[in-house]
Chain A
Amino acid sequence: MTSETAPIIHVQGLRTQFGQHVVHDNLDLTVMPGEIMALIGGSGSGKTTLLRQIIGLDSPAQGTVQVFGQDIHRAGSADLQGLRNRWGMLFQHGALFSALTVFDNVAQPMRELRNLSETLIRDAVLLKLHMVGITPDDAIKMPSDLSGGMVKRVALARALVLEPELLFLDEPTAGLDPHLSDSFVELIHSLHQAMRLTVIMVTHDLDTIFALSTQIAVLSDKRVIAKGSAQEVLAVQHPFIQEYFMGARGRRAQQAMHTNA
């Protein structure tokens, strides 16, 4: 990573307010291409809100959000559409279209481009589903017939189908059993290498944070109090960080990271 490369996401002076309640105040965040950034913070610290503001679902009260160098709250609709084809989002509960089959869910973004042949769409969708471990037999099921882990994987396939450069994950491993979480982490890791992705994830799962992220941003006191690699963040003397990582769970996860490394 050289200093000349432009940041893929650049958040500046962001302020979010719900009525009298200030969630973010003067928040800055930069994400460079190729990073896997974990966004952590206590419940209610506005992690998901920040994610939603970065992809343009919510607007901040003040400040700018630039994605791929474009201010996404002031971009024209054509530019926005172009941006939306370059990122994918995995929602916390999958957000699959419940009226469509698994296959049609994943095929939807490709069909929306209009000019791709149905054969190519079919093969590409089945490959993506194969990459996340969904068999063609499961592809004709409805989302309501799937288990929670499968819903997550299908949603990931849908987020990845247009080969985005940027992937947002909201609680990717919440609600998955340890084995599934591990394979999900491995999956994202291999996809990150295969597709040269930049990943931004919101998560509480310390194992996922240590196993996957190259960068950690800690959200507390209405702004990003620390950002850097796991070691750098752990060295920061801040009560929130110490509590978050030095609890029993945090120590176990760090131990596991050291034995794996």
Chain B
Amino acid sequence: MSTDESHPPSLSLSHGTVAASGCWQVQELAQPNLDAVLSTVVQAIPTTAEARWDLSQIVTLDHIGAQWFWNAWGNKRPQQLVLPPLFEDYFDRLEEAGTLILPPPRQHRAFLIAIWDWMSNMADHAMGLTKLVGQLLIDLLRFARQPQRGPWTEISSNVFHAGYQAMGITALVGLLIGVVLSYLSSQQLHTFGGDIYIVNILGLSIIRELGPLLAAILVAGRSGSSITAQIGVMRVTEELDAMLVMGLPHGFRLIMPKVIALALAMPLIVIWTDIMSLIGGMAAANLELNLSPSYFMQKMPNAVPLANYWIGLGKGFVFGGLIALVSCHFGLRIKPNTESLGHNTTQSVVTSITMVILADGVFAIVFKNIGFR
């Protein structure tokens, strides 16, 4: 073994003979600057007469060292070569392999083709989502006809994972946003002497807008990414194929339970987030404006019409379904490699959040005359 004493590979040129010595192994060849040193010797070989190569002083050789010589010789054996029989095999193998050329990498595609690719990709997404929604409707119909044969276990486990386990983080974020909102608004209101309107501002903004949106963004980040990654890994490990073979359709057993579970869990999470934000808001108002919580709660029903609450819950229902659908869509597009898994999970979260905000805009327009005094 040659690790104890190190013999770096070296070349020397004298009287037209190139003598090589040392250990010509990959670890030795990887020493810094060695390649430059060796190249200068090779370049110094006079081109007029062919040089004599003497490899008899080499201690050890491997395929990479042999490859180095082979390249220096221009992919053929030199006329005059002293080669110990021990190393013969390496060069025989190189000779036998012949010239191996890597095919050129694929050219960058033209601009128009890139646009076409982008468009067909978008069309593909639209088609996939449409199919998914269509399949979901069929599955829901089947579920409604035979509820006793539905995937109840899957639904309840999804409600637990996406709903119950999200309570901690939604509570924390909701509480903090409530405090922040209350502090900032109360300062402004105080300058105009409109302290009591803090109830209207907080109630309306949280119940109608912030509660559902905050919950949806958190759930999209939490459950959306986990759904996509889960389905993606099921693709990699061929579990999706196994399901099909056993007669468990993806739509009915995988996608519908997730959509139903999120559509059910999200309104509950919205209520929870609303409560926590309002508690945070109340606490901050109590400190900043000396408005007692009991007054706050007394005023709330008058300040915020009940319709807002229903709108908030409806948003939760729609957002939940959207997040589940988008996550499943991206999960099913994952190809069995790690890069695709990462890429699609990112895309899934970004797209779910965008879709949620778009849907929120639609809600704002459709219900613009409802819920105000």
Q: Could you tell me which A residues sit within 8 Å of B by CB distance? A: 68, 82, 85, 97-99, 103, 110, 113-117, 119-120, 122-124, 126-131, 136-137, 139-140, 142-144, 162-163, 165, 194-195
Q: Which of B1, B32, B67, B103 sits near A120, CB closer than 8 Å?
A: B67
Contacts A/B (CB < 8 Å), 6 sampled: A115-B30, A124-B64, A124-B67, A136-B101, A140-B105, A162-B26
Q: Please, which residues of chain B bring their CB within 8 A of the CB of A117?
A: 35
B30 pairs with A114, CB closer than 8 A: yes
A68 CB contacts on chain B under 8 angstroms? 1
Instruction: Sort A-B residue pairs by CB-CB distance and give the 4 closest, nearest first.
Output: A98-B337, A113-B30, A126-B100, A99-B339
Judge whether A120 and B339 touch: CB under 8 Å: no
Query: Is residue B68 within 8 Å, beta carbon to beta carbon, of the partner chain?
Result: yes
CA distance in complex: A162, B30 (Å):
11
CA distance A82 to B27 in the complex (A): 9
Q: Is B338 an interface residue (CB 8 A)?
A: yes
Pick the interface stretch among B48-56, B89-97, B274-282, B320-328.
B89-97
Q: Is B71 an interface residue (CB 8 A)?
A: yes
Main secondary structure of the interface of A (DSSP, over half): helix
Docked complex: B58-83 residues within 8 A CB-CB of A: 62-64, 67-68, 70-71
> Which residues does chain B contribute within 8 Å of A144, judged by CB atoms?
335-337
B126 within 8 A of A: no
> Contact between A127 and B25 (Cβ–Cβ < 8 Å)?
no
Selected contact of A194 from candidates B29, B71, B93, CB within 8 Å: B93
- Which residues of the partner chain A approach B369 to less than 8 Å between Cβ atoms? none
A116 and B102: CB pair below 8 A? no
Q: Does B31 contact A (CB under 8 A)?
A: yes
Cβ of A142: which chain B residues have Cβ within 8 Å of it? 337
Give Cα A130 to B339, complex, Å: 27
14 other A-B residue contacts (CB within 8 Å) besides A120-B67, A140-B103: A82-B3, A110-B26, A113-B27, A113-B30, A114-B32, A115-B29, A115-B30, A119-B71, A120-B29, A120-B64, A123-B100, A127-B63, A127-B97, A128-B63
Which residues from A are CB-within-8-Å of B68?
120
| Alpha-carbon gap, A179 to B310, bound state (A) | 68
Bound Cα distance A123, B74 (Å) = 12
Determine whether the beta carbon of A99 is less than 8 Å from that of B35. Answer: no
Instruction: Evaluate contact between A131 and B93: CB separation under 8 angstroms.
Output: yes
Contact call B31/A115, Cβ cutoff below 8 A: yes
- Cβ–Cβ < 8 Å partners of B64 in chain A: 110, 116, 120, 124, 163
On whether the beta carbons of B71 and A120 are closer than 8 Å, the reply is yes
Interface size class of B (residues with CB under 8 A): 20 to 34
Binary A-proximity of B10-26 (CB < 8 A = 1, otherwise 0): 00000000000000011
**CB neighbours of B33 from chain A (8 A):** 115
Interface residues in B31-48 by Cβ distance below 8 A to A read 31-35
Considering the chains assembled together, what is the distance between the CA atoms of A103 and B102 in angstroms?
9
Known: A113-B30, A115-B34, A116-B30. A195 touches B62 (CB 8 A): yes
Contact in complex: A194, B102 (CB < 8 Å): no
Give the distance to chain A from B105, nearest Cβ to Cβ, in Å. 7
Chain B hits for A163, CB < 8 A = 25-26, 62-64
- Residues of chain B within 8 A (CB-CB) of A119 are 71
Residue of B nearest to A126 (CB): B100
Known contacts A117-B35, A194-B89; A99 and B101 CB within 8 A of each other:
no
List which B79-117 residues lie within 8 A (CB) of chain A: 89-90, 93-94, 97, 100-103, 105
Provide the residues of chain B in CB contact with A136, threshold 8 Å: 100-103
| Residues of B with C-beta under 8 A to A127 | 63, 67, 93-94, 97, 100
**Chain B min CB distance to A71 (Å):** 16
Q: CA–CA, A113 to B107, complex, Å?
A: 29
Contact across chains for A113 and B26 when beta carbons are under 8 A apart:
yes
Closest B-chain residue to A99, C-beta based? Answer: B339
Q: How far is the CB of A76 from chain B (nearest CB, A)?
A: 15
Query: Which residue from chain A places its CB closest to the CB of B3 in the assembled complex?
Result: A82
Distance of A139 Cα from B101 Cα, bound (Å): 10
- Residue on B with the closest CB to A140? B103
CB distance from B373 to the nearest CB of A (A): 57
Give B262 Cβ to nearest chain A Cβ, in Å.
Answer: 30
Per the bound structure, the CA–CA distance linking A114 and B101 in Å amounts to 23
Let me know if A116 and B336 touch, CB within 8 A: no
B38 to A: closest C-beta gap in Å: 10
A residues within 8 A CB of B32?
114-115
> Which of B62, B105, B337 is close to A99, meaning CB atoms less than 8 Å apart?
B337
Is there an interface contact between B67 and A123, defined as CB atoms closer than 8 Å?
yes
Q: Is the CB of A143 within 8 A of B337?
A: yes
Residues on A with C-beta less than 8 A from B67 are 120, 123-124, 127
With the chains together, A37 CA to B165 CA distance in Å?
A: 50
Known: A98-B336, A124-B63. A139 touches B102 (CB 8 A): yes
A189 to chain B, nearest CB (A): 14
Q: Which residue of B lies closest to A143 (CB)?
A: B337
C-alpha gap A114/B339 in the complex (Å): 24
Q: Are A116 and B29 in contact (CB under 8 A)?
A: yes
8 Å CB contacts to A: which residues of B120-170? none
A98 touches B30 (CB 8 A): no
- A39 to chain B minimum Cβ distance, whole angstroms, is 24
Q: Which of A116, A120, A194, A195 has the most CB of B within 10 A?
A: A120
Question: Which B residue's beta carbon lies closest to that of A137?
Answer: B103
